[in-house]
């Protein structure tokens, strides 16, 4: 890319290496990025706000720094999900009605990104209060770059769309019940949800009772490692080939009555073959998802909305959100949301790996194709619940357990949309999950961006 072509679409590692070596300036990279956003985002609506002037000024400051060699994200354009504080911008929360005040300081994860040399070019869209597995508001739906008739997922849908379209190499997201992994699967990206306590996760009142984790969406495993290391406050890690592993394989759905369609079943078959080719052993190992877990996930989801809404004018929120809040008030007042319940599921989840003698677990990432990109904000609560749960049931249990989980592309559906699997590990296994994802990438490379 030193031949004068655009740096838009380059990986974070390529950009940071180029800026540190002097092959390109951070200002030029950001200018290329802003140009690409201006061309592509009008048909995607991935961004809520683009910080064009501010980003260029901040890129120039990166170029003026004398310690570029120590900046792992030197000059890398990044996007931040709109519910996370970026100094000088409000936290939108998915709609004007859920918008918070202008932030005076950056959230800690944004501060870490900037401290590593990254330049925040804008904030990305999400559904109101981050409640849904589709990204839209009353004005526009955000669209999937692979098929603009489809959703990029939610709630970090704007971030996923921006990365999949090549507008930024890394986008921040957060994941309360799958909000990084679901969009990653919809858009053919690598999406890591760290385990509890690994990355600063303060959000709202208490981050959905501690279920929410901050992470990144990327097109390559190397960029995922880089972004994770920065957010976790660690030196950039060098992945090592994992030892021979015993891998549990399961297509069992956490939600009764919802099963994966044939393409998503085949995604797990593909993943199993790749694991065997990499020298690992696979065995069927189905987690037991008790009915009580599903009810408690629902109660927590509802109650999180209720508690967050106490800072908002509920009358101005979308109808689907208002009903969610009303149910949350009932769940909260009835005492249905308890730390003891979450602790029990975490203990059972950790015990699963020992009981089945497996190092990690592979499941489908989704149960069906991404739904149509529609303005679900104008629809009923029941419609939104059905749409979200029917296609994306696999992520939520691992937020309750606080375990790390990653989504990795493994191919394409017959309809041309990406396919992916989810890999879950015990506590502190983030780098192991990334290393396994790296083995998938080497043996079964995926198309990094959607074009067209």
Give the span between the Cα atoms of 68 and 59, in whole angstroms: 12
The answer to whether 80 and 227 are in contact (CB under 8 A) is no
The answer to whether 139 and 96 are in contact (CB under 8 A) is no
Using only the alpha carbons of the chain, give its radius of gyration. 20
Give the span between the Cα atoms of 227 and 169, in whole angstroms: 10
C-alpha distances in Å from residue 12, one per residue of 9, 28, 78, 220: 9, 14, 9, 9
The answer to whether 49 and 64 are in contact (CB under 8 A) is no
Give the span between the Cα atoms of 452 and 437, in whole angstroms: 27
Spell out where 41-161 has E strands.
47-50, 77-81, 119-124
Give the span between the Cα atoms of 322 and 337, in whole angstroms: 19
Give the span between the Cα atoms of 236 and 13, in whole angstroms: 11
Give the span between the Cα atoms of 8 and 169, in whole angstroms: 8
Give the span between the Cα atoms of 441 and 422, in whole angstroms: 14
C-alpha distances in Å from residue 10, one per residue of 28, 32, 91, 288, 345: 13, 11, 28, 42, 41
Closest C-alpha to 346, from 422, 301, 402 = 402
Q: Which two tokens stand for residue 447?
A: 């198309």
Starting at the edge strand found earlier in the chain, the sheet holding 170-175 runs: 47-50, 119-124, 77-81, 170-175, 213-218, 190-193, 405-412, 418-424, 360-364, 246-249, 281-284
Q: Name the phi and psi angles at 188, rounded to 5.
A: 70, 40
Give the span between the Cα atoms of 67 and 84, in whole angstroms: 28
Q: Name the phi and psi angles at 444, rounded to 5.
A: -145, 65
Give the span between the Cα atoms of 414 and 49, in whole angstroms: 35
DSSP assignment of 169-220 equals SEEEEEESSSTTHHHHHHHT-EEEEPPTTSS----TTTHHHHT-EEEEEESS
Q: Please list the active-site residues.
A: 81, 155, 179
The answer to whether 169 and 121 are in contact (CB under 8 A) is no
């Amino acid at each position: 890319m030193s031949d004068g072509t655009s740096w838009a679409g380059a990986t974070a590692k390529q950009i940071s290496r180029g800026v540190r070596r002097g092959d390109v300036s951070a200002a030029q990279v950001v200018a290329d990025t802003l140009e690409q956003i201006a061309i592509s985002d009008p048909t995607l609506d991935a961004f809520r706000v683009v910080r064009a002037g501010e980003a260029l000024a901040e890129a120039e400051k990166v170029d003026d720094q004398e310690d570029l060699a120590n900046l792992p994200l030197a000059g890398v354009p990044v996007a931040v999900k709109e519910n996370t504080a970026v100094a000088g911008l409000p936290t939108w929360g998915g709609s004007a009605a859920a918008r918070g005040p202008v932030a005076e300081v950056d959230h800690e994860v944004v501060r870490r990104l900037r401290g590593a040399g990254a330049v925040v070019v804008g904030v990305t869209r999400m559904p109101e209060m981050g409640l849904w597995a589709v990204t839209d508001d009353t004005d526009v739906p955000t669209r999937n770059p692979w098929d603009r008739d489809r959703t990029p997922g939610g709630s970090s849908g704007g971030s996923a769309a921006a990365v999949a379209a090549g507008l930024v190499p890394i986008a921040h997201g957060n994941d309360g019940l799958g909000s990084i992994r679901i969009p990653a699967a919809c858009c053919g990206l690598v999406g890591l949800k760290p385990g509890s306590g690994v990355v600063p996760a303060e959000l709202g009142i208490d981050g959905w009772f501690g279920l929410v984790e901050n992470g990144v969406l990327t097109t390559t495993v190397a960029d995922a490692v880089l972004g994770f290391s920065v957010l976790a406050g660690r030196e950039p890690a060098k992945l090592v080939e994992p030892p021979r592993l015993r891998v549990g394989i399961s297509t069992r759905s956490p939600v009764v009555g919802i099963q994966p369609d044939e393409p998503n079943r085949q995604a797990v078959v593909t993943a199993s073959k790749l694991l065997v080719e990499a020298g690992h052993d696979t065995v069927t190992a189905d987690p037991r998802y008790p009915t009580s877990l599903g009810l408690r996930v629902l109660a927590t989801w509802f109650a999180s909305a209720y508690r967050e809404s106490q800072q908002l004018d509920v009358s101005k929120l979308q109808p689907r959100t208002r009903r969610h809040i009303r149910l949350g008030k009932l769940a909260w007042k009835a005492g249905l949301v308890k730390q003891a319940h979450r602790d029990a599921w975490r203990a059972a989840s950790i015990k699963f790996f020992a009981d089945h003698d497996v190092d990690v677990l592979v499941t489908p990432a989704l149960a069906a194709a991404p739904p149509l990109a529609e303005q679900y904000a104008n629809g009923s609560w029941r419609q939104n619940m059905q749409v979200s749960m029917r296609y994306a049931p696999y992520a939520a249990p691992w937020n309750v357990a606080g375990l790390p989980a990653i989504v990795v592309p493994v191919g394409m559906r017959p309809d041309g949309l990406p396919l992916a699997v989810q890999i879950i590990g015990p506590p502190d296994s983030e780098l192991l999950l990334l290393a396994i994802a790296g083995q998938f990438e080497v043996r079964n490379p995926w198309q990094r961006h959607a074009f067209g």
